[in-house]
Amino acid sequence: MKPGIEWRQPRASAENQQFAGDLHAALSRAPKAISPKYFYDETGSRLFERICELPEYYPTRTELSLLRTHAADMAAQFGGGVQLVEYGAGALLKVRLLLDALPRETVQFVPVDISGPHLLAACDGLAGDYPGLAIQPLVADFTRPHTLPPCPRGSRRVGFFPGSSIGNFTPAEADAFLRLAAAELAGGGLLIGIDLVKDEAVLHAAYNDAAGVTAAFNMNLLDRAARELGAEFPRDGFEHLAFYNPAYRRIEMHLRATRALDLQLGGEIYAFHEGETLHTEHSHKYTVSGFQAMAARAGFRPGKVWIDANRWFAVLWLEA
Ligand code: AVJ
């Protein structure tokens, strides 16, 4: 760094440093691409909650209605006592619908999430609403090897992975997660929500909402880089891009440079040519039989399936 030049000094937390490192790597590769996990700072999490309420964004309300309608049938697959492990716990809203269908004294709930403060706050709220429920939060990255609390005697371990969150994984990452889950849930099972292949217009609208919330959510990645890392770029030089890629059966989100521009990050300058994108997310869509085949390869036996009348979203029971 040259003397005499004043640098804005953003706070350098461990999380910031990981974001900075990953963003440098993302901007150095061709094509430019970053993990969607960096969407979810406080602003991004709030924007995602607004996405879930959008008229065009059908997955959340469709899955909630499946859980509401079939919770008892789903719970019946679990058997007697259950250690219920939620992967990537978030706000702990969906699991309440399952808990309502289970005798409280037969459940130990183990939400797993990488964000400690978020997880503990959500657990406080849950404990207040479900007195007597055993809750054992685990702060961990569930895609990496981790150790769950021992399963209570006479209980089965059941995983819960709603929201089609698995769609963010590449096929290789999804396979790795399913193998890890099949191993740690052995003798129990996994209840998982998946978004289904459907009419492209419906998919397109869900990721290109009229109110522009998804665009703001996407753009928040760069806004966050500006806030936390001091990144500098012409904000109006980037636009939201989301489209269905039928070859990969996935929605892709990108931030596209509308003209040639430079993005400055920590003393490095990254050039974008006109039309060049930073790939920010993929969201895979599945068929029920295709997903069941992938789960079977990873060690699960496919069980009951619940699908809405439009066949837009499915919740699958997989025996481990
Ligand atoms: C949370 C990954 C399931 O892929 O639909 C919503 C995230 N991205 N709108 C999805 C998201 C844009 C969402 N997942």
Q: What distance in angstroms lies between residue 283's CA and the mean position of ligand 1's atoms?
A: 6
With contact defined as beta carbons under 8 Å apart, do 224 and 34 qualify? Answer: no
Residue 117 has pLDDT above 60, yes or no: yes
The percent of residues in the chain predicted with pLDDT above 70, rounded, is 96
Q: Among 39, 48, 221, say which to mutate for ligand 1: greatest number of ligand atoms within 8 Å of CB.
A: 48
Instruction: Read off the pLDDT of residues 274-308 as tens digits, 9 standing for 90 and up.
Output: 999 999 999 999 999 999 999 999 999 999 999 99
Ligand 1 pocket member 214 (CB < 6 A):
yes
The pLDDT confidence band at residue 2, using thresholds 50, 70 and 90, is very low
Nearest CA to ligand 1 atom 3: 165
pLDDT tens digits along 51-89: 999 999 999 999 999 999 999 999 999 988 999 999 997
Q: Does residue 193's CB lie within 6 angstroms of at least one atom of ligand 1?
A: no
What is the separation of C-alpha 243 from the centre of its chain, rounded to a whole number of angstroms? 19
The answer, yes or no, to whether any atom of ligand 1 lies below 6 A from the CB of 283, is yes
User: In the structure encoding, which two tokens stand for residue 281, read together?
Assistant: 């997310």
pLDDT for position 11:
54
Ligand 1 center to 71 CA (angstroms): 23
**pLDDT: is 113 or 220 the higher one?**
220
State the distance from the centre of ligand 1 to the C-alpha of 218, rounded, in angstroms. 10
pLDDT at 4 over 80: no
Residue 163 Cβ inside 6 Å of ligand 1? The answer reads yes
pLDDT at 98 over 50: yes
Cα(118) to centroid(ligand 1), Å: 19
Residue 7 pLDDT level (bands cut at 50, 70, 90): low
Mean pLDDT value across residues 138-166: 95
Query: For residue 10, is pLDDT > 80?
Result: no
Q: Cα(183) to centroid of ligand 1, in Å?
A: 27
For ligand 1, pick from 93, 195, 281, 284 the residue to mutate: most ligand atoms within 8 Å of CB.
281
Mean of pLDDT values over 178-203: 98
Residue 25 CA to its chain's centroid (Å): 21
Q: What is the pLDDT of residue 6?
A: 52
Residue with tokens 């697959």: 77
The pTM score is: 0.93
Does residue 168 have its Cβ closer than 6 Å to ligand 1?
yes
User: Percentage of residues in the chain with pLDDT exceeding 90?
Assistant: 87
pLDDT band at 220; cut points 50, 70, 90: very high
Q: Atom 5 in ligand 1: which residue has the minimum CA distance?
A: 283
Of residues 172, 198, 191, 196, the one with CA closest to residue 302: 191
**Band of the pLDDT at 1, cuts 50, 70, 90?**
very low
Query: Quick one: pLDDT at residue 15?
Result: 78
Q: Amino acid identity, residue 103?
A: P
Nearest to 257 by CA among 243, 270, 244, 248: 270
224-to-10, 12, 185, 218 alpha-carbon distances in Å: 12, 14, 36, 10
* pLDDT over 90 (residue 193): yes
Q: Which whole number is the average pLDDT over 6-20?
A: 71
- The whole-chain average pLDDT of the chain stands at 94
Residue 9 has pLDDT above 60, yes or no: no
What residues contact residue 16 under an 8 Å CB cut-off, 6+ apart?
Answer: 10, 228, 229
Mean pLDDT in residue range 116-127: 91
167 lines ligand 1 (CB under 6 A): yes
Q: How far, in Å, is the centroid of ligand 1 from the Cα of 199?
A: 17
Distance (angstroms) between ligand 1 centre and the Cα of 316 equals 19
Determine if ligand 1 sits within 6 Å of the CB of residue 209: no
- Spatial CB neighbours of 224, under 8 Å, sequence gap ≥ 6: 19, 38, 41, 43, 44
